[in-house]
């Protein structure tokens, strides 16, 4: 299934549904598997509730959430009505019954092997749940307080019929909640939502402000109040319209080796201990669908999501670093390990200041190991433009900045130490004032009148070239 999925994704093909997947036992499952829902950037935008042209407005909305300016009079307040309407739509509505609880398996009835969870790569240790929205809340918070909830996308390994392993890194919200329960030596309630609506799934992946709940923000994307229902066996509220929910408790102390699994780097990551979840109930619709994906060397669905999220993040980045003109995180570089930033350069040393600001001010760049800074006339998403800037505007002895002992994704086995590595900044901008003692070259450009003449002539004699 992974091989078929990958071939279709690389061809920018459609969403796929496998109607009779084979279980590990060899039996056929009655639960169809759906993959590739985010296989194109257009489908990611649709999942966010916008067209591709609307991504810039959504990015501006996200930037305003982080640092909202007070309305300047009634006219400005009215101009912000779409934002206010979206904020009002995030109030959750609690319901008593839900389709996701049409079928309930508790206690001895729980059997995770009945779910068509994929084993994606030949070296994977076993089945891996890849699109789980893991819902948690901190210790001593009320189950009704949705604002305290965290919904994150974490890798979930099926350990046996009733147990799972949750792989969350220490800086993620789920891990922080788990520490708050473990400090009191208490097990933590968890709900794993499988087949959440696209807005909820993408909200769980968005770098939202800590004060904004992912579950409630999905209501803003859907332009509707999210409907939540009390879980059957744990004190949590869960999305009422999901396909499947796994309820249970995560031990404060028990761990198990998670992995190895094929990862977004294109390599298998080593096995490491992570918390174990004891499943207390499985609830689902009458005829549920199981949503899945694979993670591997790009292209994959997370890389497609990253491409869209890069565009959404630009207004937030500009709000903190105004001289940033454009930014590209190449999907082939695992979507975050290399960044190319174009800037409106005005003074010496500005490129280095921007690179340091990206690493130091914005948490999402803490694992970016290389930043290339270029001028605003360079398209940061065009490798030919980048190569030309590197070849003509950069001197390795002068324009390369290397940092040591900085934070790094511990999955980067090229790092000298796990979680600690170097970073490199390359200034491929035009050198000005005190940055150089030589006369700088002048970029060649066709005159505007000559370009217009050529376009008119070609449109008349060779129109196929101008279409």
Around Cβ 460, how many Cβ atoms within 10 Å?
Answer: 9
For the chain, the structural domain boundaries read 2-291, 321-435
**Cα–Cα distance measured from residue 119 to residue 116, given in angstroms and rounded to the nearest whole number:** 9
The pLDDT score that the predictor gives to residue 300 is 95
The pLDDT score that the predictor gives to residue 25 is 81
**Cα–Cα distance measured from residue 358 to residue 366, given in angstroms and rounded to the nearest whole number:** 8
The reply to whether domains 2-291 and 321-435 share a CATH topology is no
The pLDDT score that the predictor gives to residue 85 is 65
Q: Which of 56, 76, 223, 263 is catalytic?
A: 263
CATH fold of 2-291 reads Pnp Oxidase; Chain A (2.30.110)
Q: Is 263 a catalytic residue?
A: yes
CATH architecture of 321-435: 3-Layer(aba) Sandwich (3.40)
**Cα–Cα distance measured from residue 194 to residue 133, given in angstroms and rounded to the nearest whole number:** 7
Give the chain's radius of gyration (CA, Å): 25
Q: What is the pTM of this model?
A: 0.89
The pLDDT score that the predictor gives to residue 162 is 97
- Tokens encoding 271: 């096995």
The pLDDT score that the predictor gives to residue 191 is 98
The segments of the chain whose pLDDT lies below 50 read: none
- Tokens encoding 134: 């893991």
**Cα–Cα distance measured from residue 13 to residue 385, given in angstroms and rounded to the nearest whole number:** 29
The pLDDT score that the predictor gives to residue 211 is 75
């Amino acid at each position: 299934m992974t091989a078929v999925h990958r071939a279709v994704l690389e061809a920018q093909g459609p969403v796929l549904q496998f109607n009779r997947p084979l279980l590990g036992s060899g039996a056929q499952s009655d639960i169809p598997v759906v993959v590739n829902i985010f296989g194109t950037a257009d489908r990611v935008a649709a999942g966010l509730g916008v067209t591709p042209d609307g991504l810039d407005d959504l990015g501006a909305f996200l930037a305003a959430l982080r640092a909202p300016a007070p309305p300047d009079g009634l006219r400005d307040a009215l101009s912000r009505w779409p934002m206010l309407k979206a904020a009002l739509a995030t109030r959750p509505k609690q319901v008593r019954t839900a389709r996701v609880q049409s079928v309930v398996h508790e206690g001895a009835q729980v059997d995770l092997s009945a779910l068509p969870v994929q084993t994606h790569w030949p070296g994977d240790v076993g089945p891996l749940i890849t699109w789980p929205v893991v819902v948690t809340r901190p210790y001593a918070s009320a189950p009704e307080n949705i604002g305290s909830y965290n919904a994150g996308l974490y890798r979930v390994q099926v350990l046996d019929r009733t147990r799972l392993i949750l792989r969350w890194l220490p800086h993620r919200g789920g891990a922080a909640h788990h520490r708050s329960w473990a400090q009191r030596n208490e097990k933590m309630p968890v709900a794993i939502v499988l087949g959440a609506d696209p807005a909820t799934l993408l909200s769980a992946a968005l770098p939202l402000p800590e004060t904004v709940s992912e579950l409630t923000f999905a209501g803003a994307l859907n332009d509707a109040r999210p409907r939540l229902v009390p879980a059957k066996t744990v004190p949590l509220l869960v999305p009422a319209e999901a396909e499947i929910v796994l309820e249970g408790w995560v031990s404060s102390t028990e761990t198990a080796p998670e992995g190895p699994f094929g990862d977004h780097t294109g390599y298998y990551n080593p096995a490491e201990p992570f918390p174990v979840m004891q499943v207390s109930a499985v609830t689902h619709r009458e005829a549920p669908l199981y949503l899945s994906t694979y993670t591997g060397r790009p292209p994959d669905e997370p890389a497609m999501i990253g491409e869209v999220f890069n565009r959404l993040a630009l207004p937030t980045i500009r709000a903190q670093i105004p001289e940033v003109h454009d930014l590209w995180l190449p999907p082939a570089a695992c979507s975050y390990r290399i960044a190319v930033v174009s800037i409106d350069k005005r003074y010496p040393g500005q490129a280095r200041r921007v690179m340091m600001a990206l690493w130091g001010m914005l948490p999402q760049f803490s694992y970016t190991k290389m930043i290339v800074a270029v001028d605003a006339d360079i398209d940061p998403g065009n490798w030919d433009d980048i190569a030309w800037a590197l070849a003509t505007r950069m001197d390795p002895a002068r324009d390369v900045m290397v940092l040591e002992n900085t934070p790094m994704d511990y999955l980067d086995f090229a790092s000298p130490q796990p979680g600690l590595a170097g970073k490199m900044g390359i200034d491929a901008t035009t050198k000005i004032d005190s940055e150089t003692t030589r006369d700088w070259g002048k970029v060649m450009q066709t005159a505007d009148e000559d370009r217009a003449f050529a376009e008119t002539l070609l449109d008349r004699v060779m129109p196929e070239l101008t279409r």
